[in-house]
A and B are shown apart, each in its own frame.
Chain A
């Protein structure tokens, strides 16, 4: 057999296999919504199986966590986002690499995000950050994030102020943390303190965090507009027209409460507490 015939044979066989594959795909039944799997959930087992390559295996789980979060967040019906693997993956990531700051910081934000934009589990976000603080007790950024979760998601202003105060006392912490703790304690629940917090996060070095902070600031603006709308209705006794929210989508009336709220189509949906995850 000449080399030419052998090369031709190889090329034709491969082309045949590719065509057959494509034909099979066309006649295949429609894809069903299969849940994503995490075969090994034990961090101790994974750590041993990594055989010293903990860092790169942690990176793989981090990438998987990001993909899982993104896929669930952007999923369309009939799939119901559950984010069920998010915390196990973040837990594996941070057990394999206990110094993986972004996994703690972004992970806690992802976990705290209100449903359906996230799992709505700030309690797990707190657990993750406490794990980070156990690994790096002097990391003020984790303590700051802890305060943020207490403030924004749990509405626990006393714990938030305590966390901001603790963060402010850590070495290398920025000076603005101390007044933030005071403001949080004095104005618990007020949007002014919340805005101050997000404005600080908007100056973060991470583009993703900047984006999240910009969105939250727009949500706060929306809440201000909603408050003004309510006040107008209350004082004048007439229902004013619905203005557009800061993203440009008009507000709507919630049929259940008769109150003003952001539309589902809005980039600002859902506002904190607007929708609850399925239990």
Chain B
């Protein structure tokens, strides 16, 4: 596992070198700029919209990093041929894959921690001049700790997307990996439609295939509780735990698959 840790740290350092964290500047400008503008545009809904915007931007920026860094994790090493000397060292291929994945997760974690702090800081400054009488009428307080539940699930969502990107990256070009990963992400948003395919199709075979796809493809809507937390609706600890277990199992399946494919690749 020491080797995997070294690979993970190398991936994190590479992200820093590739200026991945520049997105945080854009994120901060977006949030601060929006908080100044929104007062003029939204009839007193600044806090709600900043929460929506903050969570959406956290998810979207993370998604871009997960996909566009994730698809290069293995394929870039193969294209550059830097994988040859690396695999000649005492490192197993499984450790290589695990290290790459953990490195990108670490990058995403650092990214999300900074974004979360930025959201709370902007919300604090936005809410501090609003009378308590108005604040008590809101669905949820400005500095609502429940926002962290949505952020946690966004992180799990990104962990699954990263695993999908890494999986495709082990045998496909970056361009194709990006297309496949985006495709899986989009289909994962519409999973509920597959479940109810029998409402529009009569063919038992088509219904069975749709039902199978529904269970096999990742259901990304499970990770979306943004609306619920913004409106102060309850998101139970059980739901978080079950969704986390679902993400862990899905990630494990994808990583095992990636290791399987990568182990069979011939780099001679």
Contact = CB atoms under 8 A, between A and B. Distances in A.
**Chains A and B bind each other:** yes
Interface of A: 48, 51-56, 58-59, 62-63, 66-67, 97, 99, 101-102, 106, 205-208
Nearest to A48: B190
B170 to A, nearest CB: 26
A99 B233 contact: yes
Contacts of A206: 43-44, 134, 137
Contacts of A102: 43-45, 48
Given A55-B56, A99-B233, A208 B43 contact: yes
Contact of A53 (B59, B133, B134): B59
A69 B230 CA distance: 26
Contact of A56 (B53, B137, B185): B53
A8 B231 CA distance: 52
B43 A97 contact: no
Given A55-B56, A63-B42, A208-B44, A99 B231 contact: yes
User: How many of chain B's residues touch chain A, expressed as a range?
Assistant: 20 to 34
Contacts of A56: 49, 52-53, 56
A63 B60 CA distance: 21
B227 A54 contact: yes
A55 B52 contact: yes
B216 interface: no
Nearest to B38: A63
Nearest to A63: B41
Interface string B132-156: 0110110100000000000000000
Interface of B: 41-45, 48-49, 52-53, 55-56, 59-60, 133-134, 136-137, 139, 185-186, 189-190, 220-221, 224, 226-227, 230-231, 233
Interface of B is mostly: helix
Contact of A106 (B43, B49, B53, B139): B43
A206 B46 CA distance: 12
Contacts of A59: 42, 45, 48-49, 52-53
Contacts of A101: 139
A11 B133 CA distance: 52
B226 A66 contact: no
Nearest to B50: A59
Given A59-B52, A99-B227, A53 B60 contact: yes
Nearest to B228: A99
A108 B52 CA distance: 23
B45 A55 contact: no
B227 A55 contact: yes
A139 to B, nearest CB: 11
A100 to B, nearest CB: 8
Sorted nearest first, the 10 A-B pairs with minimum C-beta distance are A55-B52, A56-B56, A205-B137, A99-B231, A205-B134, A56-B52, A59-B49, A52-B224, A53-B56, A55-B227
